[in-house]
């Protein structure tokens, strides 16, 4: 009888399927678990070109938390818990400022670098003392000097899990593909967007000496980077969810260079921006098999460098993050646009992005530090040679009539192409015509001469309804090359954007560019005119051949006049195409009320011209 029961039990065990956690996970959960495990896989060799920040992976875990199965949560629990929980006991060091508590161990695989080196004899490894020094300096710089909000306190935690108000930093072993990470945890009491967090740094950065002069350079850069993530979580912990991680990494890499300018870690990433200019500024991936998309957001840090240097104001990044904090979830583009429209900057996201694409051409051997990136001449490729922008096409005979459908890489939204034209010896210039097939475009042309530090830059006058634009380059023999830069300023995803251009030599384009013999009225800008706040304006642009008064009448599509703008004095001969000189309209009618959304006509009249154009108002 006993043997019979044993036999029955064996049959049952054979028939009941074994529990296989991997088989019970969805395909998404399996990929997520694989990514998290990769952060801690110390045996795996580096599978892509440069290490990165692991914060986005832990952000994804937090964002998916409510959708994960119990099995997935059980597997991930060990990895997303505070690292100190597995060290019993472990050592701690409170930094001199009192802001941080560093958790570390001198035992096992997480033992800190040179654990027995203690030159000052304070009983703490010198590596840990250096972490404390760099952490305190970073807090002082980012919070006290630059004025950012400090990370929310975890003083409401249990005493055995933080809970003392000091910011917790853990030193542990990680996979070779990662510098460190910052993990958001709980909403701060009374807030719906600020979250507490902790930082995990590597216990040893010596593996990366092939990139740096000493192990303390990557340690400094990582501390400045990760601490800025703690500040991000203070403003809006959901800014990166689901598609805002690009801005978090762009601004965190920028902050590395503000805190520790001597390290220049950001230079290592730049080829992954300049070799792929057609990719969207919002490109981001934390997938293990997408190395270009994975590195692109770190290389895109040049966007933050551009903003702070173009407008000569480091505070612009803080203002954008403060604006991000006013709305829960990702809104970095909208926040940037609002800040740029401020009277201090007198710009917009679209205008800034166009100029950004021009700056990006003048790097390496073409760098003009006084006009473009201050460190542009230090930009190098992966072989240490001066970095160059990837050119889509190049021509030296004319005319050129080309459609971008023949290109492998037309631009994505918030991406650009670079097309180069080589001048011939003939006296004259180039006439460039452009038509975008869809999307919203900003196009520039720049004449470059290595012996003239001031490149000539022209913005195409683009009709927003037809996407047709025209530009003329005078005296092309003054340049070694002329580059046309079509940029898609559409902010929403839409695949790749096609365009066509016709470029031809024109013998009449030489000497001083004359004023038009007749007044010229250009399309208002921006158009469509989006009225979203009291600082919204569209600008009526024109060129005058003689001094004259200017009158503008604005009508509904049915012919009802809603507004008249007229000058009381004469406008001198000249171009009135910039925001500072063109005639503004705030979208209000004669009664001071905002007009409704719709199509309007505007009639511009001067002494020798009368032109009617359309404009679109969106409210």
Q: Tell me the C-alpha distance between 67 and 64, whole Å.
A: 5
Mean pLDDT of the region 377-394: 97
The answer, yes or no, to whether the previous bond of 371 is cis (omega within 30 of 0) is no
Give yes or no for residue 515 having a pLDDT over 80.
Answer: no
Using alpha carbons, select from 328, 253, 240, 231 the residue that is nearest to residue 284. 240
Using alpha carbons, select from 285, 277, 218 the residue that is nearest to residue 245. 285
Confidence at residue 2, expressed as pLDDT on a 0 to 100 scale: 42
pLDDT tens digits along 580-607: 889 999 999 999 999 999 999 999 999 8
Q: Is the dihedral of CA 401, 434, 373, 222 positive or negative?
A: negative
Indicate the range of 214-223, 351-360, 434-443 predicted with least confidence. 434-443
Q: What DSSP state is assigned to residue 503?
A: E
Per DSSP, the chain holds a count of helices (H) and strands (E) of 14, 26
Mean pLDDT of the region 32-41: 96
Residue 375, classed as helix, strand or coil, is coil
Could you give the dihedral angle defined by the CA atoms of residues 513, 517, 518 and 520, in that order, rounded to the nearest 10 degrees?
-10
Residue 517, classed as helix, strand or coil, is coil
Q: What is the DSSP string of 116-154?
A: T--TT-SSS-HHHHHHHHHHHHHHIIIIIIT-PPPPPP-
Asked whether the beta carbons of 138 and 222 are under 8 A apart, the reply is no
Give yes or no for residue 234 having a pLDDT over 80.
Answer: yes
pLDDT tens digits along 252-273: 999 999 999 999 999 999 999 9
Q: Tell me the C-alpha distance between 559 and 35, whole Å.
A: 61
Asked whether the beta carbons of 220 and 263 are under 8 A apart, the reply is yes
Q: Which domains are seen in the chain, by residue range?
A: 1-137+151-216 (no CATH), 238-386 (no CATH), 391-506 (2.60.120.380), 520-618 (2.60.40.4070)
Residue 97, classed as helix, strand or coil, is coil
Indicate the range of 75-89, 286-300, 303-317, 407-421 predicted with least confidence. 75-89
Q: What is the DSSP string of 582-614?
A: SEEE-SB-TTSPBPPSEEEEEEEE-SS-EEEEE
What band does 136 get if pLDDT is binned at 50, 70 and 90? very high
Residue 280, classed as helix, strand or coil, is coil
Distances in whole angstroms, Cα of residue 242 to Cα of each of 163, 194, 427, 495, 606: 29, 17, 54, 19, 51
**∠430-351-304 over CA atoms, to 5°?**
115
Residue 497, classed as helix, strand or coil, is coil
Confidence at residue 517, expressed as pLDDT on a 0 to 100 scale: 66
């Amino acid at each position: 009888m006993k043997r019979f029961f044993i036999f029955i039990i064996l049959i049952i065990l054979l028939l009941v399927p074994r529990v296989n956690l991997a088989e019970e996970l969805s395909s998404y959960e399996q990929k997520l678990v694989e990514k998290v495990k990769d952060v801690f896989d110390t045996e795996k060799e580096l599978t892509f070109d440069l290490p990165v920040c692991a914060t986005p992976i832990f952000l994804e875990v937090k964002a998916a938390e409510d959708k994960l199965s119990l099995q997935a949560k059980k597997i991930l629990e060990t990895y997303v818990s505070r690292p100190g929980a597995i060290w019993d006991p472990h050592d701690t060091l409170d930094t001199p400022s009192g802001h941080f508590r560093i958790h570390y161990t001198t035992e096992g695989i997480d033992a800190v670098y040179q654990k027995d080196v203690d030159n000052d004899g304070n009983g703490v490894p010198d590596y840990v003392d250096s972490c404390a020094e760099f952490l305190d300096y970073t807090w002082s710089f980012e919070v006290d000097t630059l004025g950012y909000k400090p990370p929310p306190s975890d003083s409401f935690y249990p005493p055995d899990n933080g809970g003392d108000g000091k910011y917790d930093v853990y030193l542990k072993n990680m996979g070779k593909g990662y510098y460190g990470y910052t993990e958001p945890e709980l909403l701060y009491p009374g807030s719906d967007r600020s979250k507490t967090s902790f930082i995990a740094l590597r216990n040893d950065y010596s593996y990366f000496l092939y990139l740096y002069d000493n192990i303390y350079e990557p340690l400094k850069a990582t501390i400045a980077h990760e601490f800025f993530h703690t500040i991000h979580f203070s403003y809006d912990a959901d800014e990166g969810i689901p598609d805002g991680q690009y801005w978090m990494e762009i601004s965190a890499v920028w902050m590395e260079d503000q805190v520790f300018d001597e390290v220049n870690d950001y230079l290592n990433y730049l080829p992954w921006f300049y070799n792929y200019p057609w990719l969207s500024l919002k490109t981001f991936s934390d997938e293990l098999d997408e190395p270009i998309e994975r590195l692109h957001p770190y290389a895109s840090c040049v966007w933050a460098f551009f903003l702070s240097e173009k407008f000569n104001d480091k505070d612009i990044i803080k203002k954008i993050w403060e604006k991000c904090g006013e709305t829960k979830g990702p809104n970095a583009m909208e926040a940037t646009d609002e800040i740029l429209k401020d009277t201090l900057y007198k710009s917009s996201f679209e205008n800034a992005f166009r100029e950004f694409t021009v700056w990006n051409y003048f790097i390496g051997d073409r760098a003009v530090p006084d006009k473009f990136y201050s460190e542009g001449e230090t930009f190098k490729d992966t072989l240490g040679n001066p970095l160059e922008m990837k050119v889509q096409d190049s021509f030296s005979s004319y005319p050129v009539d080309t459609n971008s459908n023949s290109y492998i890489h037309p631009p994505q939204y918030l991406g650009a192409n670079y097309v180069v034209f080589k001048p011939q010896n003939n006296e004259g210039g180039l006439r460039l015509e452009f038509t975008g097939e869809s999307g919203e475009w900003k196009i520039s042309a720049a004449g470059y001469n290595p012996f003239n530090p001031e490149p000539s830059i022209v913005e195409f006058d683009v009709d927003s309804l037809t996407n047709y634009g025209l530009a003329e380059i005078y005296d092309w023999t003054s340049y070694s090359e002329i580059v046309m830069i079509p940029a898609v300023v559409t902010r929403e995803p839409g695949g790749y954007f096609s365009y066509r251009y016709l470029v031809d030599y024109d013998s009449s384009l030489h000497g001083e560019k004359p004023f038009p013999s007749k007044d010229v009225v250009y399309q208002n800008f921006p158009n469509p005119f989006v009225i979203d706040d009291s600082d919204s304006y569209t600008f009526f642009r024109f060129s005058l051949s003689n001094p004259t008064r200017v009158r503008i009448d604005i009508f509904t599509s049915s012919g009802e006049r809603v507004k008249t703008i007229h000058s009381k004095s004469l406008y001198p001969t000249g171009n009135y195409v910039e925001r500072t000189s063109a005639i503004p309209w705030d979208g209000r009618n004669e009664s001071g009320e905002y007009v409704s959304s719709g199509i309007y006509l505007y009639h511009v009249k001067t002494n020798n011209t009368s032109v009617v154009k359309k404009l679109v108002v969106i409210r």
